[in-house]
Amino acid sequence: MTVDEIRAEIAAALEVPTEQIGPRDNIFDHGLDSIQLMNLVRRWSMPGREVSFVDLIDRPTAADWSALLSGVSHG
């Protein structure tokens, strides 16, 4: 998934314009809660592309989430 796709899904979950979510913003600073995150994990996990709740908490930016979902390591 691209950073922009992830930003759009986060924005939809938060009911805010996508432009308010920067690629390197801490998503939790925008108000994303654990229930919303669990819903995103369920939507984004599929065979060959599994991501865990903990993975996303540890790296809470759209850019990092895009890398995780693409299988690219930035760490």
> Average pLDDT over the chain, rounded to whole?
89
Q: Looking at residue 50, what is its pLDDT?
A: 72
Q: How far apart are CA 69 and CA 59, in angstroms?
A: 12
Residue 55 CA to residue 65 CA, distance in Å, equals: 9
Model pLDDT, residue 75: 44
Q: What are phi and psi of 46, to 5 degrees?
A: -160, 165
Residue range 36-47, pLDDT digits in tens: 999 998 888 776
